[in-house]
């Protein structure tokens, strides 16, 4: 059930790519609201590291990732600040960032599942841990920007995280190789997300318009 050293290293690299991508995406959101430079960097940190922090707090999994490895904090600040300096280029890199954001979603999900599994938690909690790790950062970003979180409204974001977690957990239960099933879960989740973006797929909405109470 262990990850090979090769896969663990790959996951670590993808994690760094993901926090950079999330911090830069958050910085662009901050720029849309004309936040100051410090606000941009803080929003980048909260968005990139908030999902993992929420997971660790909810599961009682201490110390938190960025407390143990503070250079992750520095990376996200640097990524957010780079976004300010290179804002003119961001426009041209939009598709790249949507892709990296999708990579981040599935990578965070798989890492979240792993943390809960290593704590020996039940499968429902393992999947919830993946979902929280993948999605809470973006929810915090939207709350701090005073929006209704996108998560609740669009684009299969949470659904992608759930599908990724379900494939990963299901495959491990079926005793498939850890590296193999991790790869399959991530590719499947990534494909679903990119198809959802391309074809504007969304979950059905629940519209309730009866009188207020």
Q: Footprint of a copy of itself on this chain (CB under 8 A)? A: 27-28, 30-40, 42-43, 53, 57-60, 62-64, 66-67, 70-71, 73-74, 83-84, 87, 90-91, 94, 98, 121-125, 128, 139, 143-149, 151-154, 156, 158-159, 162, 202-213
Alpha carbon dihedral 124, 126, 131, 137, in 10-degree steps, equals 140
**Nearer residue to a copy of itself within complex by CB, 38 or 195:** 38
User: Minimum distance between the CB of residue 4 and a copy of itself, rounded to whole angstroms?
Assistant: 29
**Nearer residue to a copy of itself within complex by CB, 39 or 183:** 39
User: Minimum distance between the CB of residue 156 and a copy of itself, rounded to whole angstroms?
Assistant: 8
User: Minimum distance between the CB of residue 172 and a copy of itself, rounded to whole angstroms?
Assistant: 17
79, 44 Cβ separation under 8 angstroms: yes
**Nearer residue to a copy of itself within complex by CB, 4 or 153:** 153
Q: Provide CB contacts within 8 A for 78, sequence distance 6+.
A: none
User: Minimum distance between the CB of residue 7 and a copy of itself, rounded to whole angstroms?
Assistant: 27
**Nearer residue to a copy of itself within complex by CB, 83 or 133:** 83
Alpha carbon dihedral 13, 19, 21, 22, in 10-degree steps, equals 150
**Half-sphere exposure in the Cβ direction for 130 (13 Å, CA):** 33
Give the position of tokens 């993901």.
Answer: 18
Bond preceding residue 108 cis, omega within 30 of 0: no
């Amino acid at each position: 059930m262990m990850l090979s050293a090769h896969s663990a290293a790959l996951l670590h690299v993808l994690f760094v790519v993901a926090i950079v991508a999330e911090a830069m995406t958050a910085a662009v959101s901050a720029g849309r609201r004309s936040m100051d430079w410090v606000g941009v960097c803080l929003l980048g940190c909260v968005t990139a590291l908030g999902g993992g922090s929420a997971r660790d707090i909810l599961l009682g999994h201490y110390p938190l990732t960025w407390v143990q490895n503070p250079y992750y904090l520095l990376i996200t600040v640097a990524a957010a600040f780079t976004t300010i300096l290179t804002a003119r280029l961001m426009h041209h890199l939009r598709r790249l960032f949507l892709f990296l954001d999708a990579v981040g979603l599935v990578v965070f999900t798989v890492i979240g599942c792993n943390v809960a599994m290593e704590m020996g938690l039940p499968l429902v909690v393992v999947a919830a841990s993946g979902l929280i790790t993948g999605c809470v950062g973006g929810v915090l970003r939207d709350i701090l920007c005073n929006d209704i979180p996108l998560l609740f409204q669009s684009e299969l974001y949470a659904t992608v995280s759930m599908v990724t977690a379900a494939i990963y957990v299901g495959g491990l239960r079926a005793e498939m190789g850890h590296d193999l099933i991790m790869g399959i879960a991530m590719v499947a989740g990534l494909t679903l997300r990119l198809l959802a973006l391309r074809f504007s797929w969304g979950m059905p909405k629940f519209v309730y318009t009866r009188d207020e109470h």
